[in-house]
Amino acid sequence: MATLRMLLFSWWFFFRILTESGFFILTSVIQPVLFATMAFELFRLGRGEHTLLYAGLGAAMMGIWSSTLFGSGGQIQYARFRGTLELQVLAPPSYLLVLVPAMLATSALGLYSLVATLGWGWLLFGMPLHLAHPWLFLPAVVCAVIGLGLLGIVMASTFVLWRHANAFSNLLEYPVWLLAGLIVPLSFLPDWARWIAYPLSPYWAAKGVRAAALGGNPLPPMAICLGLGLVYLGIGALTVSNFERLAREKASLALA
């Protein structure tokens, strides 16, 4: 019970911190709306068969990925900068239990993207908000948040070992948007690209959310997304313990 309380409180705490940041508001609200506008215009003008809702959901998933990427990439660096990293690592709970709610908070911030892009599309572009499986849409979104958030743990604990982690975050935004098929269907990409998409939770998260909204069976992709999340959690446990070990051995916790 104490652990659950800590997880919930930490999640809320990190979520509040992120909502105070202009950069994350830009990443999770303004940027997705601008990208959604471009996508709406392109799909409206084009000969493609995809709907505005398809474009809106894609832009929202792009926003969830961006907030997860920049949040997880910078989480340990931010704590280091604020001087709270030592306290987090030395606290009685495992550091992994500190990172899990922080990462889930970064991906949950992406929910703003979903609301913003769908609201924007509905208001300005007349996008219909008819959902194929209304009762599965919210669970699909929650699965997406969990799947992406747990991927964030792997990124947070590996990026921190690299001095220029923010450069790596900058690099990974567009490739995952593209290779996970968030808005461009994988059928437009070379065949080899699919093999990169399959181990990525954003691909299954987008597939689940899209199936819940547009039709199809969302349960298999949701299950795979959660399963991948558990795999990421296992990898994250290893990489976090490696990070802690290196930090203690080299006394480099407070150093970049």
Return residues touching another protein (CB under 8 A).
22-23, 26, 30-31, 34-35, 37-39, 41-43, 45-48, 50, 162-164, 167-168, 170-171, 173-175, 177-178, 183-185, 188-189
How many whole angstroms from its chain centre is CA 35?
A: 17
Question: With contact defined as beta carbons under 8 Å apart, do 71 and 152 qualify?
Answer: yes
| SS3 state of residue 132 | coil
Quote the least distance from Cβ 74 to another protein, whole Å.
Answer: 13
> Nearest Cα to 13, choosing from 79, 75, 102?
102
Quote the least distance from Cβ 137 to another protein, whole Å.
Answer: 23
Of the two residues 9 and 162, which places its CB atom closer to another protein in the complex? Answer: 162
Of the two residues 137 and 177, which places its CB atom closer to another protein in the complex? Answer: 177
Tokens 């808005």, located at residue: 183
Quote the least distance from Cβ 30 to another protein, whole Å.
Answer: 7
Quote the least distance from Cβ 166 to another protein, whole Å.
Answer: 8
Of the two residues 4 and 45, which places its CB atom closer to another protein in the complex? Answer: 45
> Nearest Cα to 114, choosing from 140, 151, 80?
140
Quote the least distance from Cβ 158 to another protein, whole Å.
Answer: 15
Instruction: Compute the distance between CA of residue 114 and CA of residue 103 in angstroms, rounded to an integer.
Output: 18
Q: Copy the structure tokens of residue 138.
A: 């919210």
Quote the least distance from Cβ 46 to another protein, whole Å.
Answer: 4
Of the two residues 80 and 98, which places its CB atom closer to another protein in the complex? Answer: 80
Of the two residues 2 and 45, which places its CB atom closer to another protein in the complex? Answer: 45
HEC letters along 152-207? HHHHHHHHCCCCCHHHHHHHHHHHHHHHCCCCCCHHHCCHHHHHHHCCCHHHHHHH
Of the two residues 17 and 184, which places its CB atom closer to another protein in the complex? Answer: 184
Give percent helix, percent strand, percent coil of the chain, each to the nearest 5.
Answer: 80, 0, 20
Of the two residues 238 and 256, which places its CB atom closer to another protein in the complex? Answer: 256
Quote the least distance from Cβ 238 to another protein, whole Å.
Answer: 24
Q: Copy the structure tokens of residue 18.
A: 């992120």
> Nearest Cα to 209, choosing from 122, 125, 117?
117
| SS3 state of residue 46 | coil
